[in-house]
Amino acid sequence: MTLSTYTEESATQLRAALANVLEASGQLTDPVWRKVFEAVPRHRFVPECWVLADGERRHVTSADPDWLDVVYSDDALATQLTGDVATSSSTAPGLMLVMLQALAVADGHRVLEIATGTGYNAALLCERLGSQLVATVDVDPVLGRLAEARLRSSGFDPLVRIGDGRGGCPAGAPYDRLIATCGFTTVPAAWLEQVRPAGLIVCPVGWGTVRLVVTDGGSAAEGRFLPEGSYFMAVREAGATGASAHPGRPGTARARITGLDLTDVTSDEAFRFVLSLVAPETVLSWERADDGQVTAVELWGGDAAWARVSGGTVRQAGPRPLWDAVEAAYALYVENDRPGRERFGLTVTAGGQRIWLDSPGCPVPVVPAAV
């Protein structure tokens, strides 16, 4: 892709303007990362994307007059579609910078990135540390090779591997830092073996991002969630598209009454984060009347569990009682003064993980997906 001098100059100005906005909002606090952000051209990694405009999906390319304005907005941009479903995206720059700053890298640190995507985040790491200290893995061979080509043409040469990021990248281990840019319900234990003791892991879990310190000689990791919201596409297996279909409502439903106000469930973003932890791999949606009142809430999981609530009546079926989890999570939430993300933490070992509130000694009950 050949870009005019005018385009490059415009992009440079737009990066500086966006950096000013992110700095004013508190998302960009480190002057070193500001310098990196202003140096790396996001537009070279996002030559096309899909955005929502007036409720319709719009395809934006480098031929569009507002392309650079779209690219240098603080928005996540869909960069791959499978059918009508977005299956890869470029993370909003503000969230990327929050996570990169939480990674607390220093000169000489080796970093592993899980989910290469467009390659833009890997480019930021390369600019900060040097390409020889960065490795990145993506499960999608098309995305991975395209990102590798864009990285090379932009002057960066990290180690790029195609594979399941849940297994890490042993070829470049051990790492001082690991950052994931796709969503997880559980932090893979394999990562603990590839990050040095006292090293850091920054990973989206549920609707938040956890910052873990590797402890006990590499056999465990523990830490708290960042206060900011975090919304990523879920990690996927090799060969999977990332697109998912509504599983319907199989099984014989059990009905009962609930006293939980549907507006409480749907309007409080902090509570929905808690729900993403206690009922992982669950999709929540709701219906509204013309006056905006929530009239029904529905949850479903990939394991065929589902629940629907309307008119004060719960109907649910499948291996997980999903609405029971909602009620228990809301009780926990209210009883603990509606805690923010930063009060929650995670402990990970080879045997699994434990979510806690305020301290590791206060575990939060989870309704896991059926195996």
Enter the DSSP assignment of 230: -
**89 is a catalytic site residue:** yes
Instruction: Name the amino acid, one letter, at 73.
Output: S
Enter the DSSP assignment of 186: S
Judged by DSSP in three states, 139 sits in: coil
d(CA 365, CA 278): 6
Q: Which of 88, 89, 131, 276 is catalytic?
A: 89
Judged by DSSP in three states, 170 sits in: helix
Enter the DSSP assignment of 201: E
Q: Which residues pair with 285 in a beta bridge?
A: 298
* Catalytic annotation, residues: 89
